[in-house]
């Protein structure tokens, strides 16, 4: 093959001489925390203080406040996502109050990107969709925002891992580039080229090694094209008034070249990571600089450089803390924990991993709570809009029907004065009137059923959240009582109970939110090749301590080359639900076994067998009904939302598979069979 030698010689395209080899530990140590806390932070504070002072100026026209707020949001974007979101929402409200259409479109785009940076991808997609709707309805001078909207949708789809959808959005931007043909300073072609290079880089990184050469060629082509276009653009327009400095795209191209070199076994990753990090530091892009150091540390771990990885991860962590980037702090701490473990420092590794887990749980709870509030507001608003629309349509239909009937009665009366014996016409009119009333009654009944289904969802959420909240209130009362009485023994025993209550509440919120999203049709799977053996190993590692505490033997067995084409998060949720249920019902001394094997017609079968008491006929009957939407309460699993099995079945069907439950023939134990599509041996 033409590019077959690229991997064998260590990345021929990326060879840059001896400078590209791994840097030594002493060189890495020169990158210090002071670099993050020094001039960049001072400069950022000077700029933001100046903008805030400008906003407080009473002589400033209202029309300029939106643009000043947008500049302030851009300054916060690369360093403080929380402040960036707050300023962007304030600016959007101001733009809508002033009916400033261009400012509204600019801020919708900013909200889509910033929300995606906080990993709140459902909300980011809604901002991008609203931008698309507004851009397509905008007047001709603002139609260039159609390209902006498609690029934002492609960015969110890339973050979601849905590469085909992202490519489709980017292809739609190409015919629209004529909208900016007369604007030489436009950076739309650069952004589209960068998005394509990012997509193909992610495909190469995620592909099972070795990645196909055609995919690697595309990734290198688009990355180098982005770098060339951006350098030409910077040389021509960077110093002109109003010309944006897009050197951040050059820095992004450096990091992508580093990832590609690392993925194909090249020796240039360190060189390109260093170039990207230095350029991000020069541009004061704290978020991207922190992410680059964390990726660099992960690359060093893969090349058995734990000391270098530790120092790089520490630098990424310092940047994340300075710029208040909790998501980047989680990634940096996790990578730092792996490096410390490789250096035989398990205590320090556990400390970093524990901090990362706690911070990630806190972020997840905030995102779940925010999404639950958003879902409730949208639900109430949609129900009210539907009621108003239905009532308005019914009123208009009744008025129109009344006009027709009055006209018909008038004509009929006129006919009766001329011609007698028109009783048949009167009977026909009465029959039509009865049919209209029957149709109206049927519509009212359908509306009542829809409202009942919505109210049932609210009742389910309220009922199942009541018990954990009451449990937390009781634990708070006990904590206060033991603290006052200085009962340290009982006070120390509350730690485990509080942790279990928090874990149960977090699992309950995840189940309720996933169920609500599945009912609204918002859960869209993003299938990719997954190794079944790795999934089962991850599951047994997660539940090892639980099984050991319950005195249950937990085993897993799967061929190492067995692949499924499935959504990683949905599949993990199904396996966690089934394993958790099995461990809860299996008595001490029992066993829970996970197995996987190829099935017929391109299907992979994942089986989970336990030695518990088995399921009742009523539960099996309800689960077997295709239209069953009521929660299943399985005996011996405590009081929960009861959505685990139904949610697992919904996730399996969404991926083109199925979930089957049955009792073992021996009468003691249950078997759950998850059928998923098999993945091809290579990507095409």
Same domain, 414 and 516: yes
The reported pLDDT for the residue numbered 27 is 38
> Does residue 614 belong to any structural domain of this protein?
yes
Question: For residue 595, what are the β-bridge partners?
Answer: 557, 607
For residue 642, the SS3 value is coil
Pairing label, strands 658-663, 670-677: antiparallel
| 542/642 same-domain check | yes
Banded model confidence at residue 142, pLDDT cuts 50, 70, 90? confident
Other C-beta atoms lying within 10 Å of the C-beta of residue 283: 18
- Confidence bin at 4 (pLDDT 50/70/90): very low
pLDDT the model gives residue 461: 58
Mean pLDDT of 621-643: 55
240: region left, alpha or beta (phi > 0 left; psi from -120 to 50 alpha): beta
pLDDT of residue 437: 78
With 0.75 as the threshold, say if the pTM is over it: no
Q: Considering only residues 30 and 608, tell me which one the structure prediction assigns the higher pLDDT.
A: 608
User: Is 8 inside a domain boundary?
Assistant: no
In terms of Cβ atoms closer than 10 Å to its own Cβ (0-12, 13-18, 19+), residue 330 is buried
Is the same domain home to 484 and 549? no
What sign for the dihedral angle of Cα 352, 353, 358, 364?
Answer: positive
Query: Residue 11: phi, psi to the nearest 5?
Result: 95, 70
Q: Write the DSSP symbol of residue 12.
A: G
500 and 535 fall within a common domain: no
Answer yes or no: is 147 within a domain: no
Mean pLDDT of 463-479: 64
In a domain, 71, yes or no: no
Residue 98 lies in a domain: no
> Exposure of 267 by Cβ count < 10 A (0-12 exposed, 13-18 middle, 19+ buried)?
buried
Q: What is the pLDDT of residues 425-451, one digit of tens each?
A: 556 666 777 777 777 877 777 777 666
Q: How far apart are CA 119 and CA 551, in angstroms?
A: 38
568 pLDDT exceeds 50? yes
185-220 residue pLDDT tens: 667 777 888 888 888 888 888 877 777 888 888 889
Cα 373 to Cα 123: distance, rounded to the nearest angstrom: 12
The pLDDT of residue 613 is above 80: yes
496 plus 582 within the same structural domain: no
| pLDDT given at position 592 | 94
Residue 674 has pLDDT above 90, yes or no: yes
Number of domains within the chain = 2
Closest by CA position to 22, among listed 383, 303, 292: 303
Alpha-carbon distance of 668 to 615, in angstroms, equals: 10
- The answer on 620 and 584 residing in a single domain is yes
- The single-letter DSSP state of residue 1 is -
If you average pLDDT over every residue of the chain, what do you get?
Answer: 76
Q: Is 24 helix (H, G, I), strand (E, B) or coil?
A: coil
Residues 386 and 498 in one domain: yes
Which band of pLDDT confidence, cut at 50, 70 and 90, is reported for residue 2? Answer: very low
Distance CA 637, CA 510 (A): 17
- Judged against a pLDDT cut of 60, whether residue 29 lies above it is answered with no
For residue 565, pLDDT over 60 is answered with: yes
Task: Specify the pLDDT at position 296.
Answer: 92
Alpha-helix residue ranges (DSSP H) falling in 118-212: 121-136, 145-160, 163-173, 188-206
pLDDT of 41 = 53
Residues 539 and 673 placed together within one structural domain of the fold: yes
The per-residue b/e assignment along 445-468, b for 16 or more CB within 10 angstroms, e otherwise, is: eeeeeeeeebeebeebbeebbeeb
Residues 650-673 pLDDT 10s: 889 888 899 999 888 777 789 999
- Candidate from 238-242, 365-369, 589-593 with smallest mean pLDDT: 238-242
Across the range 391-409, mean pLDDT stands at 78
Residue that is last in its domain, among 466, 496, 520:
520
Domain span holding position 510? 382-520
Confidence of residue 605 (pLDDT cuts 50, 70, 90): very high
Same domain assignment for residues 481 and 433: yes
143 near 179, Cβ under 8 Å?
yes
Any domain includes 601: yes
């Amino acid at each position: 093959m033409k590019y077959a030698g690229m991997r064998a010689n260590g990345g021929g395209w990326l060879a840059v001489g001896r400078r590209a080899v791994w840097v030594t530990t002493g060189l890495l140590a020169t990158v210090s925390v002071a670099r993050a806390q020094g001039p960049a932070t001072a400069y950022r504070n000077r700029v933001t203080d100046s903008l805030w002072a400008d906003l407080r100026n009473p002589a400033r026209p209202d029309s300029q406040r939106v643009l000043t707020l947008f500049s302030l949001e851009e300054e916060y974007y690369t360093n403080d996502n929380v402040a960036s979101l707050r300023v962007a929402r304030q600016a959007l409200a101001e733009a809508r109050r002033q009916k400033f259409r261009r400012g509204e479109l600019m801020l919708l785009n900013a909200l889509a990107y910033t929300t995606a940076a906080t990993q709140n991808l459902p909300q980011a997609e809604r901002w991008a969709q609203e931008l698309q709707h507004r851009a397509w309805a905008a007047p001709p001078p603002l139609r260039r925002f159609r390209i902006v909207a498609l690029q934002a949708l492609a960015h969110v789809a890339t973050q979601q891992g849905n590469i085909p959808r992202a490519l489709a959005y980017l292809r739609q931007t190409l015919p629209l580039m004529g909208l900016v043909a007369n604007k030489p300073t436009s950076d739309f072609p650069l952004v589209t080229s960068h998005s394509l290079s990012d997509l193909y880089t992610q495909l190469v990184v995620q592909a099972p090694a070795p990645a196909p050469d055609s995919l690697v060629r595309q990734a290198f082509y688009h990355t180098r094209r982005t770098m060339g276009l951006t350098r030409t653009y910077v040389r021509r327009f960077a110093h002109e008034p109003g010309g944006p400095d897009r050197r951040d795209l050059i820095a992004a191209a450096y990091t992508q070249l580093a990832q590609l070199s690392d993925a194909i076994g090249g020796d240039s990753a360190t060189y390109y990571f260093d170039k990207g990090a230095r350029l991000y530091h020069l541009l004061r892009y704290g978020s991207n600089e922190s992410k680059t150091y964390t990726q660099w540390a992960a690359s060093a771990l893969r090349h058995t450089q734990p000391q270098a990885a530790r120092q790089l991860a520490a630098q990424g962590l310092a940047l994340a803390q300075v710029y208040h980037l909790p998501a980047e702090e989680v990634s940096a701490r996790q990578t730092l924990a792996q490096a410390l473990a490789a250096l035989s420092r398990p205590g320090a590794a556990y400390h970093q991993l524990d901090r990362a887990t706690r911070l990630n749980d806190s972020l997840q709870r905030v995102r779940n709570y925010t999404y639950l509030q958003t879902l409730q507001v949208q639900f109430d608003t949609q129900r009210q809009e539907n009621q108003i629309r239905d009532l308005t349509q019914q009123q208009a239909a009744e008025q129109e029907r009344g006009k027709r009937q009055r006209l018909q009665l008038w004509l009929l009366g006129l006919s009766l004065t001329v011609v007698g014996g028109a009783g048949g016409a009167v009977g026909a009119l009465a029959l039509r009137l009865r049919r209209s009333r029957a149709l109206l009654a049927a519509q009212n009944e359908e509306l009542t059923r829809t409202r009942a289904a919505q109210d049932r969802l609210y009742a389910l959420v309220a009922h199942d959240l009541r018990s954990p909240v009451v449990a937390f209130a009781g634990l708070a009362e006990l904590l206060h009582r033991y603290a006052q009485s200085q009962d340290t023994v009982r006070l120390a025993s509350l730690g485990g109970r509080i942790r279990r209550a928090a874990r149960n509440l977090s699992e309950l919120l995840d189940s309720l939110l996933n169920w609500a999203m599945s009912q609204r049709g918002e859960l869209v799977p993003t299938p990719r090749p997954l190794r079944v053996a790795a999934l089962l190993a991850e599951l047994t590692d997660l539940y090892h301590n639980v099984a050991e505490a319950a005195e249950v033997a937990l085993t897993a067995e799967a061929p190492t080359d067995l692949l499924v084409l499935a959504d990683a998060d949905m599949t993990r949720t199904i396996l966690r639900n089934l394993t958790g249920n099995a461990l809860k019902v299996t008595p001490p001394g029992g066993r829970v076994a996970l197995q996987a094997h190829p099935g017929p017609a391109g299907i992979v079968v994942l089986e989970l067998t336990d030695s518990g008491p088995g399921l009742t006929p009523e539960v099996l009957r309800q689960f077997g009904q295709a239209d069953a939407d009521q929660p299943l309460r399985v005996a011996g699993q405590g009081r929960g939302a009861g959505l685990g099995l139904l949610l697992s079945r919904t996730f399996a069907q969404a991926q083109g598979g199925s979930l089957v439950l049955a009792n073992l023939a021996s009468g003691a134990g249950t078997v759950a069979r998850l059928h998923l599509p098999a993945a091809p041996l290579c990507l095409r």
